[in-house]
């Protein structure tokens, strides 16, 4: 054994170096901080920090970062199934959704006002990776990762969690467009939505009857614009309060039933039902490429089918724009037609086993 032979020299030298560092640091800090503190106490009034830095929680920070000057933002909810590629996929719903903001007309800048609400870790990580505005919505004891089969118990739970979250956003005074991620944004919706502030809610429909005030519409909660005020907060409160009284119904049907039951008149709401000429979907296509603003993959059952058919929508849109870029055609009334939604039509025929 060699230990006893070792000279004590290096250890003592180290001790002295350590001691001098400690000494130096204590002198440095006393010479710097103490005069600064006493300067503050004698020369300045201490700022009223409680009033200036009102505690901002994570949600408030996310909302204020994403919103426009008029406290308006765009909200979409994302889970793993929409954010992540399975082995055989080469795109995701999220990618298509963002592509539409790039390919759309006057939609690029809206990306900054989009808040993605992630319901699981993968979705959140991917959102951060893409440098979008992200918020992580925690939910106890529920796994929202996979594709939720239409109307399964977890599907319904996820929907209600979303409603509660949106109620909270309204309570904080933010107006928002809620959009499902299977909605392609081909034009800026704000230019087609009514600017009249007396209109509390503007909601998309599966099939438009021709009358924007007709309360018998089949609403679609996959796209709507809502202003924050007492009446809309009361509506969402009432909607959410039906959660445990509506077994087997998804939240959209519950809202539909509330409207059929006269909640609009009761709360004094003004609700505009949106024309599918602008805010369209697979249930009822927009008849005019020159007017179409959003396309929702509604009337469809599986993610794969939606992705397949929404790709066709973007392809149609690019073709239309290419065509319109030739000046001599710019005036034509040539009728562009949407490609058939074969994936979605099949999704109903093949029954309910929809693995993504």
Ligand X SMILES: *[C@@H]1O[C@H](CO)[C@@H](O)[C@H](O)[C@H]1NC(C)=O
Q: Give contact residues for ligand X (rule: CB under 6 A).
A: 48, 50-51, 68, 70, 72, 175, 190, 196, 198, 230, 241-242, 245, 331, 351-352
In the complex, minimum distance from the CB of residue 294 to ligand X, in angstroms, rounded to a whole number = 15
Distance, CA of 154 to CA of 342 (rounded, Å): 27
Are residues 126 and 84 in contact, defined by beta-carbon separation less than 8 angstroms?
A: yes
- Pick the closer one to ligand X by CB: 301 or 308: 301
- Pick the closer one to ligand X by CB: 121 or 322: 322
Nearest C-alpha neighbor of 223 from the set 258, 264, 266, 192: 192
Q: What is the 3-state secondary structure (H, E, C) of 88-135?
A: CCCCCHHHHHHHHHHHCECCHHHHHHEEEEECCHHHHHHHHHCCCEEE
In the complex, minimum distance from the CB of residue 186 to ligand X, in angstroms, rounded to a whole number = 17
Nearest C-alpha neighbor of 133 from the set 164, 84, 176: 176
- Pick the closer one to ligand X by CB: 10 or 351: 351
In the complex, minimum distance from the CB of residue 178 to ligand X, in angstroms, rounded to a whole number = 14
- Pick the closer one to ligand X by CB: 107 or 175: 175
- Pick the closer one to ligand X by CB: 31 or 241: 241
- Pick the closer one to ligand X by CB: 103 or 242: 242
- Pick the closer one to ligand X by CB: 171 or 216: 171
In the complex, minimum distance from the CB of residue 196 to ligand X, in angstroms, rounded to a whole number = 4
Are residues 190 and 249 in contact, defined by beta-carbon separation less than 8 angstroms?
A: no
Measured between its terminal Cα atoms, the distance across the chain in Å is 67
Q: CB-hemisphere CA count at 13 Å for 344?
A: 19
Are residues 219 and 257 in contact, defined by beta-carbon separation less than 8 angstroms?
A: no
Angle, CA 223 vertex, CA 156 and CA 77 arms, to 5°: 55
**What are 178's strand-pairing partners?**
75, 224
In the complex, minimum distance from the CB of residue 18 to ligand X, in angstroms, rounded to a whole number = 45
In the complex, minimum distance from the CB of residue 130 to ligand X, in angstroms, rounded to a whole number = 23
In the complex, minimum distance from the CB of residue 68 to ligand X, in angstroms, rounded to a whole number = 4
């Amino acid at each position: 054994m060699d230990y006893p032979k070792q000279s004590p020299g290096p250890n003592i030298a180290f001790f002295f170096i350590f001691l001098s560092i400690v000494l130096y640091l204590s002198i440095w800090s006393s010479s710097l901080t103490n005069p600064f503190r006493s300067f503050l106490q004698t020369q300045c009034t201490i700022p009223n920090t409680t009033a200036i830095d009102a505690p901002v929680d994570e949600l408030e920070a996310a909302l204020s970062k994403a919103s426009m000057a008029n406290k308006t933002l765009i909200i979409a909810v994302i889970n793993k199934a929409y954010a992540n590629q399975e082995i055989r996929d080469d795109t995701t719903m999220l990618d298509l959704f963002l592509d539409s903001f790039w390919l759309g007309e006057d939609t690029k800048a809206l990306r900054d006002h989009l808040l993605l609400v992630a319901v699981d870790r993968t979705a959140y990580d991917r959102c951060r990776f893409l440098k979008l505005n992200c918020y992580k919505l925690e939910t106890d004891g529920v796994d929202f990762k996979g594709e939720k089969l239409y109307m399964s118990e977890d599907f319904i739970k996820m929907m209600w969690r979303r409603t509660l979250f949106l109620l909270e956003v309204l309570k904080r005074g933010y107006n928002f467009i809620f959009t499902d991620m299977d909605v392609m944004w081909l034009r800026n919706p704000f230019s087609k939505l009514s600017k009249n502030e007396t209109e509390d809610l503007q909601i998309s429909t599966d099939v438009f009857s021709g009358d924007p005030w007709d309360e018998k519409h089949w609403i679609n909660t996959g796209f709507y614009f809502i202003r924050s005020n007492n009446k809309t907060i009361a509506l969402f409160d009432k909607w959410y309060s039906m959660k445990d009284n509506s077994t087997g119904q998804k939240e959209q049907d519950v809202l539909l039933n509330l409207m059929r039951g006269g909640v609009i008149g009761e709360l004094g709401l003004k609700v505009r039902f949106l024309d599918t000429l602008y805010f369209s979907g697979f249930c009822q296509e927009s008849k005019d490429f020159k007017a179409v603003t959003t396309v929702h993959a509604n009337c469809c059952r599986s993610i794969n089918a939606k992705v397949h058919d929404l790709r066709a929508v973007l392809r149609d849109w690019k073709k239309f724009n290419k065509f319109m870029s030739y000046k001599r055609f710019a005036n034509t009334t040539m009728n562009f037609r949407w490609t058939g939604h074969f994936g979605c039509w099949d999704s109903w025929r093949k029954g309910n086993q929809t693995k993504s």
